[in-house]
Chains A and B, each alone.
Chain A
């Protein structure tokens, strides 16, 4: 086994193990920390596949943004030290069965399917290429979704402020 294979399997173990602990751990704060491990593992996998820009975005947005937001909201709402209720046994049993059955079905289909790779020349996912394509108005340009997403983010920001705002009763 080469070093690269070993690194891949370590990343896979971090991702799957972190995910499993995140959904089964009973203390919610620990569960958030395990989620953090899983997301960092995915960023590592992006770096492993030479998508450096994507790995950086994953770390900045997910690890630096969403997980921190989740941890803040844990502190604001539940007592982070207390255990969550155990899931209903019947519900847990059927969820496990559904997940295992669906995973094996998907893996079986994947095994039976042969993927045909396109033979076009590889385009390097460098930041230069990404930036040119992102802001290009020509063919394969992504300027319109870029602008639409900026409007969506503005709308989400205003929506969050309005939803979470505490209305003062009028004197």
Chain B
């Protein structure tokens, strides 16, 4: 267990992923849920780095995946926050249980 290898990083990313899932399931506040999603995305990025570094060092594919992932995550966070702010303006609340206008 002395040399840091693939398994160590996979264990970290697995734990981080399911911490994010736990947060996503328990939190009812939209901003907190967005934060949990960011944790999940980061866990996935960590996986890409680990596989690129330890299994396929001859290519940079994992690294490019992460760069594009980060760009898309930034776009996603910006759109989500715009929606949350607009929702707050209309409902005075960002609790997920209060956003029932479009519920069938």
Cβ of B42 and Cβ of A117 under 8 Å apart?
A: no
Residue on A nearest B54 in the bound complex, by CB: A117
Which size bracket describes the interface of A in this complex? 35 or more
**B-side contacts of A161, CB under 8 Å:** 82
Cβ distance B53 to chain A, nearest Cβ, rounded Å: 5
Output the nearest chain A residue to B56 by Cβ-Cβ distance.
Answer: A118
The complex places the Cα of A149 from the Cα of B65 at a distance, in Å, of: 12
B88 & A66 in contact (Cβ 8 Å cutoff):
no
Q: Find the residue from B27, B60, B88 having the highest chain A CB count within 10 A.
A: B60
Name the contact of A95 in the complex, choosing from B26, B46, B57 (C-beta under 8 A): B26
* Interface SS of B by simple majority: helix
Q: Residues of B at under 8 Å CB distance from A?
A: 2, 4, 6-12, 14-16, 18-23, 25-29, 31-32, 34-36, 38-39, 42, 45-46, 49-50, 53-61, 63-64, 66-68, 70-79, 81-86, 88-89, 94
A45-B49, A164-B86 given; 14 more Cβ-contact pairs under 8 Å: A1-B2, A28-B32, A50-B53, A62-B42, A62-B73, A65-B74, A66-B38, A73-B81, A84-B27, A91-B26, A99-B19, A120-B58, A123-B57, A145-B64
Interface residues in chain A, defined as those with a beta carbon under 8 Å from any beta carbon in chain B? 1-2, 4-5, 8, 12, 15-16, 19-20, 22-24, 28, 31-32, 35, 38-39, 42, 45-46, 49-51, 53-54, 57-58, 61-62, 65-66, 69-70, 73-74, 76-78, 84-85, 87, 91-92, 94-96, 98-100, 102-103, 106-107, 110, 115-118, 120-123, 125, 129-130, 133-134, 140, 142, 145, 149, 152-153, 156-157, 159-161, 163-164, 166
